[in-house]
Amino acid sequence: MTSAKPLRVGMVGYAFMGAAHSHAWRTAPRFFDLALEPQLTAVAGRNPVGVRAAAAKLGWASAETDWRRLIERDDIDLIDICTPGNTHAEIAIAALEAGKHVLCEKPLANSVEEAERMTAAAEAAAKRGVFSMCGFSYRRTPALALAKRFVEQGRLGTIRHVRAQYLQDWLSDENAPMTWRLDKSKSGSGSLGDIGAHSIDAAQWITGQKITGVSALLETFVTERPLAGDLVGLGGHGDVGSDTARGSVTVDDAAVFSARFDGGPIGVFEATRYALGRKNAMRLELNGTKGSLAFDFEEMNVLSFYDGAESPDAGFRRIFVTEPEHPYAGNWWPTGHGLGYEHGFTHQVVDLMTAIAEKRQPEPSFADALQVQQVLAAIEESAANSSHWQKV
Amino acid sequence: MTSAKPLRVGMVGYAFMGAAHSHAWRTAPRFFDLALEPQLTAVAGRNPVGVRAAAAKLGWASAETDWRRLIERDDIDLIDICTPGNTHAEIAIAALEAGKHVLCEKPLANSVEEAERMTAAAEAAAKRGVFSMCGFSYRRTPALALAKRFVEQGRLGTIRHVRAQYLQDWLSDENAPMTWRLDKSKSGSGSLGDIGAHSIDAAQWITGQKITGVSALLETFVTERPLAGDLVGLGGHGDVGSDTARGSVTVDDAAVFSARFDGGPIGVFEATRYALGRKNAMRLELNGTKGSLAFDFEEMNVLSFYDGAESPDAGFRRIFVTEPEHPYAGNWWPTGHGLGYEHGFTHQVVDLMTAIAEKRQPEPSFADALQVQQVLAAIEESAANSSHWQKV
Amino acid sequence: MTSAKPLRVGMVGYAFMGAAHSHAWRTAPRFFDLALEPQLTAVAGRNPVGVRAAAAKLGWASAETDWRRLIERDDIDLIDICTPGNTHAEIAIAALEAGKHVLCEKPLANSVEEAERMTAAAEAAAKRGVFSMCGFSYRRTPALALAKRFVEQGRLGTIRHVRAQYLQDWLSDENAPMTWRLDKSKSGSGSLGDIGAHSIDAAQWITGQKITGVSALLETFVTERPLAGDLVGLGGHGDVGSDTARGSVTVDDAAVFSARFDGGPIGVFEATRYALGRKNAMRLELNGTKGSLAFDFEEMNVLSFYDGAESPDAGFRRIFVTEPEHPYAGNWWPTGHGLGYEHGFTHQVVDLMTAIAEKRQPEPSFADALQVQQVLAAIEESAANSSHWQKV
Amino acid sequence: MTSAKPLRVGMVGYAFMGAAHSHAWRTAPRFFDLALEPQLTAVAGRNPVGVRAAAAKLGWASAETDWRRLIERDDIDLIDICTPGNTHAEIAIAALEAGKHVLCEKPLANSVEEAERMTAAAEAAAKRGVFSMCGFSYRRTPALALAKRFVEQGRLGTIRHVRAQYLQDWLSDENAPMTWRLDKSKSGSGSLGDIGAHSIDAAQWITGQKITGVSALLETFVTERPLAGDLVGLGGHGDVGSDTARGSVTVDDAAVFSARFDGGPIGVFEATRYALGRKNAMRLELNGTKGSLAFDFEEMNVLSFYDGAESPDAGFRRIFVTEPEHPYAGNWWPTGHGLGYEHGFTHQVVDLMTAIAEKRQPEPSFADALQVQQVLAAIEESAANSSHWQKV
């Protein structure tokens, strides 16, 4: 590790994603051999007290109250954007133009237009050796990376069905408080962009195919929610009195859409935060002519695989994705000792640092994320047009 | 049982459904106390050798080669229709007009127009004390009947999500042979009417709500299949040579649709016979404000229930639906000794005979089945119209 | 079926097992092609009213109040013994000596001495073409029969571990009533003989190995239980008042033992009726050098198989044992349409009739069942001797 | 965190456990509010190159080649022992006598005699405010900590059954190499002490009861294994040639025992590294008069709970132990975002530091671990004495 070149990181935002990213930067070099050594140089946030406390708690060497300061500082090589979507474009473009690598949380932006500008900036920067990546962290779940490997190995044959659900329930309670995630001006969309975007990216990445058209239905079940003080962050599960002031929910609570992929399969997607009892059920199933794969993030260390060639004694095989040969797994614990949610973020910065060190484009690029944004836009277009089929 | 009045049954068709129905008529009085005692009087089929063999094998006292003969016979009280959908209307209407009760396999018919005529005949007959019922047998799965009870008890609160899949894989092999189920002139539709109809009926029955509109996508993956001799029956899984003559598949292989229900929830449905590895995964999940329910026919004796009131120690509870207090279960084995596929058919004739004996309309009525047919038609209409929303 | 020779059956006892056996005799010829055609000729029981009602309900042509009458009757070819264990020896020996085939419920007897006499009678009768079989019906569960096939095919390699549990909970309630199953003079033992015997037979049959020694612990948690009228039957789950008369439980409530098999593996067994929440969890797991198998009767249509050769992508594969190639399954429904508890009994009489028609010894023979009895005796011996190792 | 007093740690050993402990010390203050701030001051190991590399990799400020140096150093407050069991007694006693707190991996020692001396040293040290703890890290799995809470709340009623398995398969391959874990002089015992000890500790801790007697069977399936270079560490899964030198396995491969607990339940335990397909199946099930609990570390974020009061609609409830109200979980991610293997170690040092800061005895104490050692000794005694019952 002594020979590794430092990579000095400045992070913007320090709530849920900020904590996950901090852990990732801190932990990556302890389990992976890296050509770059991350340094937690500075964190930025508007609240002076909050950002200093976060710096101490999360292990950042300094704190700034304006993200522009991070970009001005000479001792920072990479800007890690963990803020709501409405701020992504401005920060990312400024950072790239200032010659700093960028890791930007998903969804890339709140509109296709923003995402296009970000992608243009990213492609211009890449020519100068400055790289960017969008944080679709589920790609770094070992089981989903193994799923992609299986598809690439042809173990599924021709894929016919894509079945994706992302089910949560933290809004099921009508009194769960208002949060920036429910304010379209900040988050861009609701379940669609927050969790549906993960399903879209994962499905396209694993199949190696793009969605060409969609038909969609969006629904908002609860249109007003109690305001509860500082709502930056995760959304919480607090109880509130009935006389609490209420804010308008301006995003979708649930998104349902069918899709076609350019390689033939049809897809059905559902994203919701109202599936009572489903906590983080990011599920994906692929059915091919030779095999099928199934995944549920609630059992994140398991990939289920059905090999049609084993018929009549075939069956879904629960692969515990903790073998040394499995993606990422060999750097952690012995077989059977599973990983948790935050490991995806650690793998994400490992992959990002490796690409930067090798001077090649990390994936998913901003262009990849722009295409997801275009799918999101097509979904909203279809939903607004009585579910009529909408080309992407 | 000695006091039970005989109910003399004539069955039309003796393939897969015929075997299931025969078992039901034979078995029902052995486990249930009934006011009527079913007698397996006659079975009809066009092939003289086949129908006589079937009568002997399945336990019917006589055989006919024309269903019209069953209707003419004085010693038959009820006609049980187990033939492909294109024959339902003619047989059912003739039977009802002849004063015979009717049990008709689902889907009720191959078109709304046929279903409407059948329903008119059924309603006219009912006034004369002649009853009819459509064979949506999944209603008689104890776990689904328990699901309905939970909804009626208010244990789910307001339902927000209906999530229904019916996944099979017997057509996944491109060389699986042509069958009447793939011929639109006989079956009316493909996965949609064969299995999707079950999901629609179950979802509406359990929620007590009707679908008001849909947006749909239909797909046929394999448009030609080998012809293989007598294809009446189940569809088989045989191997065939590459020089086999081929027939055109004229129905959908897969159906995907979103829906709205009149009580508020949105639904997402999928029916396919290409989900490799899923054998008979008739799945239904309901998410409400207070509780959630999940079911998969591949574990047909289990109903999963999530009670939000138990939070934070809530979790999906696997109820083994074999307690004496559970629907139908008390008539069988001790707790924990599960039932199989055919029990639904036994329960179906139990319920039918009970309604006939009590001179009340059995459920689902032809009118209920007509409404399902209208949903099927709306789905096809939407699919033909670029998935545009279609009112039912 | 017209060419099948009749096999005229007389059944003794008509409670839980009697209902299951009746269904089996009635159903077998409808789904299987048999050389013999079973006829439900007569049922015997001491209570005149009860036995006549049972005959009508279960479909027997006549009723007798003394089992000896069944043996005297010329129109009976086979005696089916469904009574408590203390009566098995007398009935079975008398039947065999009278030239009647015998199907006897398990455990074969209440002592090794009885079982030895029964086995001697069986072997003498077999020389005269009169056959007998013990009703270890779990052998006829398709998934367990498939497990045996896998072992015979060498797919497990050398077996190292046998792990068997039979967990029920119907005695968990201290007020569950007294029943003959808790009276040693009738049942011989408690959980050990009632359910543990199934585990022992299944483990030995599937592995093809015999248990050579055991170390055991037996426990009775509740020593007195309310008496509740006619306790013949299953044991029930009724509520009783606190002033109810109570009877002494004279059998084990739970049995735990380790074992060695003659082929090398070590085994651990547990049988109990106090595992609250486990309804009929008859579980078996085998770990070999090449593969492993796991089964739980609560998911009776599934066999889980782990193929070590698939490493590092190996995983327990959930085989849905409903394919035409699977044992028994092809005679029933299409793939994925599972069977229930009673099917094992139907398969049992199918196998029994096939062996009788082919004039060969059915399995498990009385000699096989005697050996299980010897294992049961060794377990009781070890438990009585501070768990000291006891050879079988 | 700025007000936290430093706790300067010196760690002995840097293989599997060393990596896990390093991660724990590094991560604990980032997610928990602690009165002490851990500092990774020094790591010790005999190999100068290896220990320096480990220090750099794992984040320790300095390296020592003799553990005695750690004890001599004034800038170290706590000794963390991550070496094989044969070294525990010497290191721990020396550390305690030098006034340093001790965290010692399990099993506490390789003999009762050693464990007694360690416990005496621990109790003497505690009087001087110097504390010690044994690393039964599974106590810190949120789901098992929740299990204990449920037992304490009386939700199980009187416990009747304890069912514990710890199944791994990394020795299933006969060519898996020799390691110190298979050498009795270093590890004390095999599966018994390595993994069975975890089951014993967890079962006693969660039930709040002690094992009073045991009957046991120990087995070694493979008595010689290839030697493969530096075998310190985990045991690996490497392939070796057939001409490789071989070493003798001097420990048990599998341990099976029954037990009685002082509060009434009977227990059955199994520990093995030959259960092909089971990777880290540390399972525990408790059946009580009111409720049951089940856990499997292969789904470490889930606790299954059966509440008998919900009968007849009861069922095992899969509690996803990630709610803010659950033990440890509130300090991590939102509901539904599961934890991994290493989190138990982080929680362990959190609890240890909290106890030290509050000047009270951490749990499990050396006395607790000595009692586990006494159970291990009774098991070996029973196994050596033909499984005869052995009091603890």
Beta pairing partners, C288: C159
Quick check: C5 contacting D, CB < 8 Å?
A: no
Contact between chains at B57 and C1 (C-beta distance less than 8 A) = yes
Quick check: D282 contacting A, CB < 8 Å?
A: no
Please state the rounded mean pLDDT for residues D241-252: 82
**How would CATH label the architecture of C142-299+301-338?**
2-Layer Sandwich (3.30)
Beta pairing partners, B163: B268, B285
Which residues of A, range 89-128, sit inside 8 Å of B by Cβ?
Answer: none
| Residue C217: both structure tokens together | 């612990």
Q: Which residues of B touch A172 (CB under 8 A)?
A: 160, 287, 289, 308
**Among candidates B16, B58, B335 on the partner chain, residue whose Cβ is nearest the Cβ of C30:** B58
* Cβ atoms within 10 Å of B56's Cβ, excluding its own: 14
Give the chain C residue whose CA is nearest to the CA of A322: C312
Quick check: B336 contacting D, CB < 8 Å?
A: no
Chains touching chain B through at least 3 C-beta pairs below 8 angstroms are A, C, D
SS3 D255: strand
CA dihedral (D173, D177, D179, D182) positive or negative? positive
Q: What is the pLDDT of residue B242?
A: 55
Contact between chains at D319 and B317 (C-beta distance less than 8 A) = no
Residue of A51, A248, A289, A40 lying closest to A161 (CA atoms): A289
Q: Which residues of C touch D172 (CB under 8 A)?
A: 160, 287, 289, 308
Residue type, C372: V
Residue type, B11: M
> Among 3.40.50.11610, 3.30.360.10, 3.90.1300.10, 3.40.50.300, what is the CATH number of B142-299+301-339?
3.30.360.10
- Compute CA A153 distance to the chain's CA centroid, rounded to the nearest angstrom: 25
Chain D closest-CA separation from residue A20 CA (Å): 8
Q: Would strands A246-248 and A224-226 be described as parallel, antiparallel, or unpaired?
A: antiparallel
Query: Residue A237 above 80 pLDDT?
Result: no
Residues with Cβ within 8 Å of D5's Cβ and at least 6 positions away in sequence, in order, are: D35, D36, D37, D357
Q: What is the pLDDT of residue A4?
A: 86
Q: What is the pLDDT of residue A3?
A: 73
Residues C346, C338: Cα–Cα separation, whole Å: 15
Residues with Cβ within 8 Å of C153's Cβ and at least 6 positions away in sequence, in order, are: none
Q: What is the pLDDT of residue A389?
A: 98
| C215, C257 Cβ separation under 8 angstroms | yes
Fold that domain A142-299+301-334 belongs to in CATH: Dihydrodipicolinate Reductase; domain 2 (3.30.360)
Q: What is the pLDDT of residue B282?
A: 98
Residue D320's H or E segment, with its range, is strand D315-320
Instruction: Determine the residue among C158, C268, C296 to mutate to test chain D binding: the one whose Cβ has the most chain D Cβ atoms within 10 Å.
Output: C268
Q: Which residues of B touch A161 (CB under 8 A)?
A: 254, 272, 274-275
Give the chain D residue whose CA is nearest to the CA of C306: D277
| B103, B352 Cβ separation under 8 angstroms | yes
| C318, C305 Cβ separation under 8 angstroms | no
Quick check: C346 contacting B, CB < 8 Å?
A: no
Contact between chains at B287 and A275 (C-beta distance less than 8 A) = yes
Query: Residue C239 above 50 pLDDT?
Result: no
Query: Residue D237 above 60 pLDDT?
Result: no
Q: Which residues of D touch C291 (CB under 8 A)?
A: 276-277
Quick check: D337 contacting A, CB < 8 Å?
A: yes
Phi then psi for B93, rounded to 5 degrees? -65, -45
- For chain A, give the mean pLDDT: 95
Residue of A339, A375, A356, A337 lying closest to A137 (CA atoms): A339
Instruction: Determine the residue among B317, B318, B323, B328 to mutate to test chain D binding: the one whose Cβ has the most chain D Cβ atoms within 10 Å.
Output: B317
Q: What is the pLDDT of residue D228?
A: 73
Chain B closest-CA separation from residue C7 CA (Å): 17
Confidence of residue A229 (pLDDT cuts 50, 70, 90): low
pLDDT digits (tens, 9 = 90+) for A267-319: 999 999 999 999 999 999 999 999 999 999 999 999 999 999 999 999 999 99
**Among candidates A316, A323, A325 on the partner chain, residue whose Cβ is nearest the Cβ of C318:** A316
Quick check: C320 contacting A, CB < 8 Å?
A: yes
Chain C closest-CA separation from residue D324 CA (Å): 27
Number of A to B CB contacts under 8 A, please give it: 128
Give the chain B residue whose CA is nearest to the CA of D335: B312
* Cβ atoms within 10 Å of D77's Cβ, excluding its own: 20
Quick check: D389 contacting C, CB < 8 Å?
A: yes
Q: Would strands D101-105 and D132-135 be described as parallel, antiparallel, or unpaired?
A: parallel
CATH code: domain D142-299+301-335 is 3.30.360.10
pLDDT digits (tens, 9 = 90+) for D265-279: 999 999 999 999 999
Residues B391, B211: Cα–Cα separation, whole Å: 9
Confidence of residue A238 (pLDDT cuts 50, 70, 90): very low
Chain B closest-CA separation from residue A104 CA (Å): 32
Confidence of residue D4 (pLDDT cuts 50, 70, 90): confident
Chain C closest-CA separation from residue D294 CA (Å): 10
Contact between chains at C30 and B20 (C-beta distance less than 8 A) = no
Q: From residue A331, how far is each of A26, A66, A382, D19, D338 by CA, in Å?
A: 15, 37, 44, 11, 19
CA dihedral (D321, D322, D325, D326) positive or negative? positive
Contact between chains at D287 and C277 (C-beta distance less than 8 A) = yes
pLDDT digits (tens, 9 = 90+) for A104-117: 999 999 999 999 99
Chain B closest-CA separation from residue C331 CA (Å): 11
Fold that domain C5-138 belongs to in CATH: Rossmann fold (3.40.50)
What's the Rg (C-alpha) of chain A? 21
| Residue with the larger pLDDT of the pair B56 and B237 | B56
Chains touching chain D through at least 3 C-beta pairs below 8 angstroms are A, B, C
For a pLDDT cut of 90, what percent of chain A falls above it?
94
Determine whether A114 is exposed, middle or buried from the number of CB atoms within 10 Å of its CB (0-12, 13-18, 19+): buried
Quick check: A314 contacting C, CB < 8 Å?
A: yes
Residues A197, A171: Cα–Cα separation, whole Å: 18
Residues with Cβ within 8 Å of A113's Cβ and at least 6 positions away in sequence, in order, are: none
Confidence of residue C238 (pLDDT cuts 50, 70, 90): very low
CA dihedral (A342, A347, A352, A353) positive or negative? positive
Q: What is the pLDDT of residue A367?
A: 98
Local structure of residue C178 (DSSP, 8 states): P
* Cβ atoms within 10 Å of B297's Cβ, excluding its own: 26
* Cβ atoms within 10 Å of C148's Cβ, excluding its own: 17
Please state the rounded mean pLDDT for residues D359-379: 98
pLDDT digits (tens, 9 = 90+) for B16-30: 999 999 999 999 999
| Residue D87: both structure tokens together | 């070294």
Beta pairing partners, B248: B224
Contact between chains at A337 and D335 (C-beta distance less than 8 A) = no
Query: Residue C1 above 50 pLDDT?
Result: no
Helices (H) and strands (E) in chain C, counts: 11, 17
Query: Residue B295 above 60 pLDDT?
Result: yes
Residue of B349, A345, A322, C356 lying closest to D281 (CA atoms): A322
SS3 B267: strand
Q: Which residues of D touch B324 (CB under 8 A)?
A: 312
Residues B315, A166: Cα–Cα separation, whole Å: 18
- Rounded to 10 deg, the angle between the B343-357 and B16-31 helix axes is 60
Query: Residue C385 above 80 pLDDT?
Result: yes
| Residue B83: both structure tokens together | 């033939």
Contact between chains at C316 and A317 (C-beta distance less than 8 A) = yes
Q: Which residues of D touch C165 (CB under 8 A)?
A: 163
Contact between chains at B292 and A277 (C-beta distance less than 8 A) = yes
Query: Residue B226 above 50 pLDDT?
Result: yes
Residue type, C173: D
Sorted by where each begins, the domain ranges of chain C are 5-138, 142-299+301-338
CA dihedral (A66, A67, A72, A74) positive or negative? positive
**Among candidates D274, D277, D389 on the partner chain, residue whose Cβ is nearest the Cβ of C387:** D389
Q: What is the pLDDT of residue A2?
A: 54
Please state the rounded mean pLDDT for residues A353-360: 98
pLDDT digits (tens, 9 = 90+) for A46-99: 999 999 999 999 999 999 999 999 999 999 999 999 999 999 999 999 999 999
Greatest C-alpha distance within chain D: 65
- Compute CA D114 distance to the chain's CA centroid, rounded to the nearest angstrom: 18
Residues D324, A107: Cα–Cα separation, whole Å: 27
| Residue A16: both structure tokens together | 């849920």
Beta pairing partners, C208: none
pLDDT digits (tens, 9 = 90+) for B249-289: 999 999 999 999 999 999 999 999 999 999 999 999 999 99
Q: What is the pLDDT of residue D243?
A: 63
**Can you list the pairs that A387-390 forms with residues at least 24 positions away whose Cβ atoms lie under 8 Å?**
A387/A215, A387/A216, A387/A217, A387/B215, A387/B258, A387/B382, A387/B387, A387/B388, A387/B389, A388/A215, A388/B386, A388/B387, A388/B388, A388/B389, A389/A213, A389/A214, A389/A215, A389/B386, A389/B387, A389/B388, A390/A213, A390/A214, A390/A215, A390/A216
Confidence of residue C229 (pLDDT cuts 50, 70, 90): low
Instruction: Determine the residue among C316, C317, C328 to mutate to test chain A binding: the one whose Cβ has the most chain A Cβ atoms within 10 Å.
Output: C317
What's the Rg (C-alpha) of chain D? 21
Please state the rounded mean pLDDT for residues C217-230: 88
Quick check: B330 contacting D, CB < 8 Å?
A: no
Residues C58, B258: Cα–Cα separation, whole Å: 47
Contact between chains at D337 and A280 (C-beta distance less than 8 A) = yes
Q: Which residues of B touch C235 (CB under 8 A)?
A: 334
Q: What is the pLDDT of residue B373?
A: 97
Q: What is the pLDDT of residue A235?
A: 38
| B118, B142 Cβ separation under 8 angstroms | no
Give the chain B residue whose CA is nearest to the CA of C297: B337
Q: What is the pLDDT of residue D167?
A: 98
SS3 A315: strand
**Which range among A229-238, C125-134, D199-208 shows the weakest confidence by mean pLDDT?**
A229-238
Residues with Cβ within 8 Å of D334's Cβ and at least 6 positions away in sequence, in order, are: A16, A170, A234, A235, A280, D322
**Which range among B230-239, B297-306, C107-116, C339-348 shows the weakest confidence by mean pLDDT?**
B230-239
Confidence of residue D102 (pLDDT cuts 50, 70, 90): very high
Determine whether D223 is exposed, middle or buried from the number of CB atoms within 10 Å of its CB (0-12, 13-18, 19+): exposed
Please state the rounded mean pLDDT for residues D1-27: 92
Q: What is the pLDDT of residue B1?
A: 46
Quick check: C219 contacting D, CB < 8 Å?
A: yes
| B118, B370 Cβ separation under 8 angstroms | yes
Confidence of residue C228 (pLDDT cuts 50, 70, 90): confident
Q: Which residues of C touch D314 (CB under 8 A)?
A: 277
| C165, C159 Cβ separation under 8 angstroms | no
Query: Residue D6 above 90 pLDDT?
Result: yes
Q: Which residues of C touch D289 (CB under 8 A)?
A: 172, 174, 276
Q: What is the pLDDT of residue D240?
A: 43
